[in-house]
Amino acid sequence: MALPLFSDNMLHHERIPPPPGMTWPATARPASRLFPVLLLGMAGAGTQALAQDGGAPTVPASPSLFAPPVPPVVQTGPLTFAPLVRQVGPAVVNIAVSQAQDSHQAATRQPLPPSVKGTPFEHKFRERMRAHGEEMLGAGSGFLIDPGGVIVTNAHVVGGADQITVSLSDGTEFPARLVGSDDLTDIAVIQIHAPHPMPFVPWGDSRLVNIGDWIMAAGNPFGLGSSVTAGIVSARGRDIGTSPFDDFFQIDAPINPGNSGGPSFNLGGQVVAVNTAIVSPTGGSVGIGFGLPSEIVAPIVEELRHNGHIDRGWLGVTLADGAGHGGVQIVGIDRDGPAMKAHLRIGDVITAVNDEPIDTARMLIRSIAAKRPASTVTLHIRRRHDTMSLEACVGHRPDEDLDD
């Protein structure tokens, strides 16, 4: 990838090396580079005026070069997003995470993360951390999905925090506790306890979202506080290399550091994606942001609410695409794993799981991961010139296993 990819809690990623071939963002480019464009525009206007005043006359474009005017394909659009903001804004929250420190740590305090440093929020957080003897780790966003105070955010926003503070749109602050998180999808659930029911937003069905649909993103960019931006869905199904479960919306609504964990809404005020990462050469938005669709997030959130963790299925094989005629080829089998116990062999091509056709390794990983450990699946395979079906008992996916 030509441009660096980064999730927008900067300090979190300073603790974790960037993926191979990628770098964390550099300083923003100066706006002065726009001046040549403006000057060229002015020079063009002057040249045309001279031609009209005394130079050679301009040649008008032939009408035959252009198609006749047609009615717009999109007849209507939102004149303002204000009603939508009023409806969903109270349910969007700002999240600050901090870590307790001793006197030695205080003397060697690390600088604030880029999501806060250099913004009006910096002074507020420095004062708060100094008063409480804590070290600020970062800031992010989230949203309430339940009147009881259940909040969805990104796992990288709250990971490693000793204390989580949630700020509502009216400035009210609450301490929050971590209910559960899932690093593979970067989703976390936290909860606050308020003396009254909280405003919340519902999930929308991201499967109904089309490329070109309007979308509104909300969050806490650069720690400045609640903000909204609007744009369209630029693409679906983006794989940005963060995990085997990547299936992102690409959106052009501006997303910046601090927006991590914030929601993206459809025009009905339903959450259809969770803002997670951006591509940028500058550290700010260049119109390429990524949100994880609700069809993936919502079931994970429900399991985190009930169990605090995600149990995923595992087969114990190493896979390779390009088997031809559909399916994925097994190129390695873990000793004593589910695949070995099911008598699968290296060279077998898995063409389907139960009645679900399999065309890529990613499809197989996702299909098996969605199965409950200890459940049984039917694997349809091609072994040399023969086809057969084998029963396999799904294992429990190891934490660091990236194959299936």
Write the pLDDT tens digit of every residue in 317-359: 999 886 667 889 999 999 999 999 999 999 999 999 998 999 8
The last residue of one of the domains, among 247, 279, 309, is 309
Alpha carbons within 13 A on the beta-carbon side of 370: 14
Among 292, 309, 326, identify where a domain stops: 309
Count structural domains, the chain: 2
Q: Are residues 290 and 226 both part of a single domain?
A: yes
Show the tokens assigned to 167: 């700020």
Going by pLDDT thresholds of 50, 70 and 90, the confidence category of residue 302 is very high
Q: Domain containing 332 — which CATH number?
A: 2.30.42.10
Q: Catalytic residue at 260? A: yes
72 vs 266: CA distance, rounded Å:
22
Which of 181, 226, 260, 294 is catalytic? The answer is 260
pLDDT-above-70 percentage for the chain: 68
Residue at 45 is within a domain: no
The answer to whether residue 132 is catalytic is no
Residues 294 and 185 placed together within one structural domain of the fold: yes
Residue 54 lies in a domain: no
Q: Is 403 a catalytic residue?
A: no
The whole-number pLDDT of residue 246 equals 80
**Cα distances (Å, whole numbers) of residue 57 to 44, 61, 99:** 15, 13, 71
With bands split at pLDDT 50, 70 and 90, how would you rate the model's confidence at 133? low
Catalytic residue chosen out of the listed positions 186, 246, 247, 348: 186
pLDDT of residue 326: 81
**What is the pLDDT, as a whole number, of residue 141?**
93
Per-residue pLDDT at 226: 81
Task: Give residue 116's domain range.
Answer: 1-12+82-309
Q: Is residue 257 domain-shared with residue 383, that is, in the same domain?
A: no
Q: Which of 315, 369, 320, 323 is nearest to 342 (CA)?
A: 315
Whether residue 188 lies inside any domain: the answer is yes
Average pLDDT of 283-288?
68
Helix (H) or strand (E) holding 123: helix 121-132
pLDDT, one tens digit per residue, over 212-271 is 999 999 988 876 778 899 999 999 988 877 777 788 899 988 887 778 899 999 999 999
Give residue-wise pLDDT tens across range 95-121.
998 877 654 444 445 555 555 555 445
Q: Which listed residue (98, 156, 334, 348) is catalytic? A: 156
Question: Sorting pLDDT into bands at 50, 70 and 90, what band is 87?
Answer: very high
Looking at residue 353, its pLDDT comes to: 95
- Quick one: average pLDDT of 55-73? 56
Tokens of residue 362, six digits = 């990613």
pTM comes to 0.69
Same domain, 174 and 284: yes
In the predicted structure, residue 367 carries a pLDDT above the cut 60:
yes
